[in-house]
């Protein structure tokens, strides 16, 4: 064996300088980045797109939003009735070609009422969430950025507010003011912003000791630049997730208040009041409860799926923890 190896080696042709060629590593060239440049948002979108569950939530939401905008108009064009047109000769009808979702006890079309109810729910949910966002970011931003005594006092105040049951506050408010869309949104936001402010406070506290914030301070950056260029953009992930997850909470709260009769008043429809209305005869006319109840569930599920997906997409490191 050993001899074979030796003879093999000897039979190789001798190498000369001409057999080699320099690799010519250009240091500058090796530093070139070939990957397509993606902003943080594009990256997030790419990750979200690959998450089938979250995407199905997103698609469901888009469909529901379009349907709640167009649904009532479509029914009006096709059949000529709106959410309060009643036909006392056709009460409690089963779903049919004329009434796609059936009719209620006053002979009003359930298809129109379901989608215009969803519209109310979405408006309340999104408006309440956006107001929570505004107040929560400002209040939480001040707590987190200034810290110390300011933080202690403001945080205690929000804790006290949080300790009051929100249903109590809401019912009191709705007793004092006329129940209307605006009153419901006000009632929901009075305590709803607290959660957002705590999220923002925690993020800002965590981020403000990061070295890039110190670097910016060492260059002489002021409070405005630190907050709006460094701290809030980097806290945007958790803020967006909290925002997305607070919409279904507000929608459910609105439905719940409407169910109790404290929501928008008849004849305007709301998913919650429709469920309450259907309660009396649900053994005989189950579709009257089915459509609004299923829609509330789907809206909430879709927002929650999207919110979870966004959390994973915005911070991939959290996914496997």
Partner 1 sequence: MGAMTGKNLIEVEGLKKYFNVGGGKVLKAVDNLNFFIREGETLGMVGESGCGKSTAGRTILRLYEPTGGSVRFNGTDIYKLSPGKMKAMRRDMQMIFQDPYASLNPRFTVSDIIGEALDIHKMAGSSGERKKRIEELLDLVGLNTDHATRYPHEFSGGQRQRIGIARALAVNPKFIICDEPISALDVSIQAQVVNLLQELQDRLGLTYLFIAHDLSMVKHISDRVAVMYLGKMVELADSEELYSNPIHPYTKSLLSAIPVPDPEVESQRKRILMSAEGGGPIRSADEKTEETSLVEVSPGHWVAMPH
Binding site for partner 1 (CB under 8 A): 27-28, 31-33, 35, 37-40, 210-212, 214-221, 225, 229-230, 233-234
Structure-block tokens of residue 192: 């709803």
Residue 86 near residue 106, CB atoms below 8 Å: yes
**Whole-number minimum distance, CB 222 to partner 1, in Å?**
8
d(CA 267, CA 98): 21
User: What are the residue ranges of helices labelled H in 80-180?
Assistant: 110-146, 148-163, 166-176
Structure-block tokens of residue 202: 């925690």
Measured from the CB atom, the residue of 9 and 28 that comes closer to partner 1 is 28
Measured from the CB atom, the residue of 40 and 138 that comes closer to partner 1 is 40
**Whole-number minimum distance, CB 218 to partner 1, in Å?**
5
**Whole-number minimum distance, CB 195 to partner 1, in Å?**
24
Measured from the CB atom, the residue of 208 and 288 that comes closer to partner 1 is 208
**Whole-number minimum distance, CB 223 to partner 1, in Å?**
11
Measured from the CB atom, the residue of 165 and 233 that comes closer to partner 1 is 233
**Whole-number minimum distance, CB 316 to partner 1, in Å?**
12
Measured from the CB atom, the residue of 9 and 35 that comes closer to partner 1 is 35
Measured from the CB atom, the residue of 172 and 215 that comes closer to partner 1 is 215
d(CA 116, CA 109): 11
Measured from the CB atom, the residue of 21 and 36 that comes closer to partner 1 is 36
Residue 311 near residue 241, CB atoms below 8 Å: yes
d(CA 49, CA 59): 11
Structure-block tokens of residue 284: 């005989």
**Whole-number minimum distance, CB 142 to partner 1, in Å?**
20
Neighbour-count burial for 153-191, b at 16+ CB within 10 Å, e otherwise? ebbeebeeeeeeebeeebeebbeeeebebebbbbbbbbb
d(CA 179, CA 268): 12
User: What are the residue ranges of helices labelled H in the chain?
Assistant: 2-11, 27-30, 40-50, 52-79, 110-146, 148-163, 166-176, 181-207, 211-218, 223-225, 232-259, 271-278, 286-314
**Whole-number minimum distance, CB 210 to partner 1, in Å?**
6
């Amino acid at each position: 064996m050993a001899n074979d190896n030796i003879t093999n080696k000897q039979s190789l042709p001798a190498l000369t300088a001409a057999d080699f060629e320099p690799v010519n590593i250009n240091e500058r060239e090796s530093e070139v980045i070939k990957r397509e440049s993606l902003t943080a948002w594009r990256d997030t979108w790419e990750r979200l797109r690959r998450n089938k569950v979250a995407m199905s939530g997103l698609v469901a939401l888009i469909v529901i939003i379009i349907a709640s905008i167009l649904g009532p108009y479509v029914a009006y064009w096709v059949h000529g009735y709106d959410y309060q047109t009643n036909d006392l000769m056709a009460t409690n009808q089963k779903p049919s070609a004329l009434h796609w979702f059936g009719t209620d006890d006053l002979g009003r079309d359930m298809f129109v009422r379901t989608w215009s109810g969803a519209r109310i729910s979405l408006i309340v949910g999104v408006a309440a969430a956006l107001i929570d966002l505004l107040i929560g970011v400002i209040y939480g931003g001040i707590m987190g950025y200034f810290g110390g005594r300011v933080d202690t006092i403001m945080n205690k105040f929000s804790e006290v507010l949080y300790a009051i049951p929100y249903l109590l506050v809401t019912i009191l408010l709705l007793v004092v003011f006329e129940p209307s869309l605006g009153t419901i949104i006000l009632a929901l936001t009075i305590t709803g912003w607290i959660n957002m402010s705590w999220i923002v406070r925690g993020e800002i506290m965590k981020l403000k000791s990061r070295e890039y914030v110190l670097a910016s301070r060492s260059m002489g950056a002021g409070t405005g630049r630190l907050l709006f260029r460094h701290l809030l953009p980097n806290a945007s992930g958790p803020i967006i997730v909290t925002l997305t997850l607070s919409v279904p909470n507000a929608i459910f709260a609105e439905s719940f208040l409407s169910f109790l009769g404290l929501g928008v008043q008849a004849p305007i429809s709301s998913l919650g009041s429709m469920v309450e209305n259907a309660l009396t005869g649900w053994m005989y006319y189950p579709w009257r409860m089915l459509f609004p109840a299923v829609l509330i569930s789907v809206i909430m599920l879709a927002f929650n799926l999207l919110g979870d997906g966004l959390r994973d997409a915005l911070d991939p490191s959290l996914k496997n923890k």
